[in-house]
Structure 1
């Protein structure tokens, strides 16, 4: 019975190919929209996590002032010194490396080319705290750091804008009133989560920047990389206690420095993108319901058109459940075909859009199976009422129908 009923349902679908196509179109669009939105959302979440991770592994950023972000509150706050970084590295357990950092906006010149960028004065620990690899050349030596030598490492953006196809290693780069030798090329990192270009940078020894650019011994930021598996809250509390002691803050005084945990930023941004993904997926799922309503409408029209055929089947002995099953199978087949086409369409669209948006394509079997299963459920739910109406027709009245 099941096989014959299935063959009858498929025959009716083939007899009205155009109508069947228009019927499943809503389901195709709904399934494709849901899968595409969720897939792109997952890719965006992964991209945000990767960008935060590129800042450094278990990285803490400590700056003077009570607020960090686009608008930093550093007015009147006591600056850090290099000794603060040395104290953190030697007195706080769980810290892998500490890099003092002092930045300055400059215009770099090589030959006839110039480029506005930012110089960061720091120590060799900067590469470790920021997970930065040297693509070519070498890093600073201890002697160069102590002496404040005129040497530098440049990011990929600076290399491209100033040197083009020329070899940058060993070249003399002019920064404001002095020149520095390019001893290393930093590996490309790309855009950070906040939108800034991480490769648009020049890195010099801290003492070089302090003496030649800033003119003081201040340190703007302390970058602290934690060891794997340590309790970051415990380490942050230890850092806070040590810095309060070194900055001579009384028990009732507020901190005049801020500690930012990049892992918390990653969790916050990832959570936000996940919520947006769920919201977009829910909005797209509404189109699946619209597709289900379309299936019900077409099936009701089909019942009306085939009233006489139904009457003949019932008159020659067909059971109500067989008629019900035939129309229900037709609705489910239409919904499943729409779901399958929607999955294939969504996969192709997700690959293309992920490439255009520069986010990773993450195939999620769960959302694909869920969307396909939901489309089948749509066929059952919205196909049941027309099928029941067909099964309950009076054979005599159905045979009289013109």
Structure 2
């Protein structure tokens, strides 16, 4: 232990004696570790945000979505959840507290709505009164659409805060009218502001009753529903999922040898799928930027070789005074390891600061999260790089003949 402390003390003294050269030596390590930490912190922040978003949907919920295989996509075919599928779920599946269909009235990307002479491009959503419970969003002003609105196909709507601003509506726009396609709809509610996620506003939409939305759709055969199912008892969720899949297969007339062209998922499954993708992407990015760690290691080896040459006489004196080859080896190896570990620690700080800065500057990007394993792994890998690339210079120093070293000018 005493020898180890002495090695660390001497390594730190050597680094302080050549502070600028040491900083330039570990610059590659700092950049590599900083890049890894910044990338991991941003993607882990995204994963944490996704978990929070899906946690709000509730543990007793299921979502039904169409799923098109890659082969069908190549052939220009697209799977859709139709009104018949929705009706089959309503009629066949028990233990449901609510069933909420959602339809993008003007397509997946939205369309143009207007208020007076002001136009805005936004999403036009048609859904049922239970939408607010399934998505955990509620009106800030006014009310949400009701079952009476849905049954009588009333031309009413609720809007998001971003759309209110884009259309230059009043702070309290209740009673104002906006035009959707060729229909005028009365604003009866303004939803609570939810901000942005990954740069996309969650408040830029207009929502109308489901039956009203169906009346606005130009081609009913082309609609693609998203359906949220709410189970009364959490213990029945797997049973409801199985029966929903069976009902959809009957509705879509799928034979036993044909795979599902839809997906019934819980919020946990949806969140896990997205987190898996994010973790995979972050791992790839971390691996790419981690190459700079190897570049930094080569820089450490070069500088350590120069250091061995500069300190040849010093090594000769140490050996003449009784220092063993092992102690010389450990001294130079320890110096390389401490140098790279310090670079790793500096890189962690800079990387976290970079991730936090990116989260602050990029709208909608979640707060950066640095997991403990990323810090430990980065610093440990930095130290390992120092050991690997410090072995050759340390071995060269340990093999020096003391007589020749003392004669070195």
Which of the five TM-score ranges fits, normalised by the shorter chain?
0.7 to 0.9
Worse overlay, 25-34 or 343-352: 25-34
What is the aligned partner in structure 1 of residue 32 from structure 2? 30
1:108-119 alignment to 2 at 5 Å?
Answer: 108-119=113-124
Contact 1:48 1:270 in 2 (8 A): yes
**Secondary structure at 1:173 match in 2:** strand
**Secondary structure at 1:393 match in 2:** coil
In 2: Cα distance, 1:183 partner to 1:239 partner? 34
1:196-218 Cα shifts (integer Å, max 9, x gaps): 75533322223334456669899
In 2: Cα distance, 1:392 partner to 1:185 partner? 79
Of 134, 138, 147, which aligns to 1:129?
A: 134
What is the aligned partner in structure 2 of residue 322 from structure 1? 327
What is the aligned partner in structure 2 of residue 394 from structure 1? 401
Of 281, 295, 313, which aligns to 2:300?
A: 295
Contact 2:89 2:248 in 1 (8 A): no
1:142-199 Cα shifts (integer Å, max 9, x gaps): 3333323332111233212223453212323344454332111123445678x97553
**Secondary structure at 1:108 match in 2:** strand
Query: In the alignment, is residue 223 of structure 1 matched against residue 227 of structure 2?
Result: yes
1:16-64 Cα shifts (integer Å, max 9, x gaps): 2332222222221222122222222323334555566678874423569
1:3-402 alignment to 2 at 5 Å?
Answer: 4-47=6-49, 58-62=61-65, 73=78, 79-80=83-84, 83-84=87-88, 86-87=90-91, 91-93=93-95, 95-105=96-106, 107-189=112-194, 198-211=202-215, 220-221=224-225, 223-227=227-231, 229=234, 234-243=239-248, 247=251, 249=253, 258-261=262-265, 263=267, 264-357=269-362, 358-402=365-409
**Secondary structure at 1:163 match in 2:** coil
Worse overlay, 251-260 or 300-309: 251-260
Contact 1:92 1:239 in 2 (8 A): no
Worse overlay, 207-216 or 171-180: 207-216
Structure 2 gaps, min length 5: none
In 2: Cα distance, 1:85 partner to 1:363 partner? 43
Contact 2:31 2:292 in 1 (8 A): yes
Contact 2:101 2:226 in 1 (8 A): yes
**Paired residue total:** 396
Contact 2:88 2:247 in 1 (8 A): no
In 1: Cα distance, 2:361 partner to 2:264 partner? 32
Contact 1:153 1:185 in 2 (8 A): yes
Q: CA deviation at 1:344?
A: 1.4
Q: CA deviation at 1:133?
A: 2.4
1:256-314 Cα shifts (integer Å, max 9, x gaps): 97345375554333222212211222222222222222222222221122111211222
In 2: Cα distance, 1:138 partner to 1:248 partner? 37
Cα distance change, pair 138–330 in 1 and its aligned pair in 2 (3 A): same
In 2: Cα distance, 1:32 partner to 1:215 partner? 53
In 1: Cα distance, 2:58 partner to 2:273 partner? 17
TM-score, normalised by the number of residues in structure 2: 0.80
In 1: Cα distance, 2:84 partner to 2:215 partner? 16
In 1: Cα distance, 2:281 partner to 2:67 partner? 34
Cα distance change, pair 262–380 in 1 and its aligned pair in 2 (3 A): same
TM-score, normalised by the number of residues in structure 1: 0.81
Cα distance change, pair 111–306 in 1 and its aligned pair in 2 (3 A): same
Contact 1:98 1:129 in 2 (8 A): no
Worse overlay, 9-18 or 223-232: 223-232
Q: CA deviation at 1:367?
A: 0.8
Q: CA deviation at 1:328?
A: 2.6
Cα distance change, pair 229–287 in 1 and its aligned pair in 2 (3 A): farther
Worse overlay, 277-286 or 203-212: 203-212
Worse overlay, 101-110 or 129-138: 101-110
In 2: Cα distance, 1:153 partner to 1:345 partner? 45
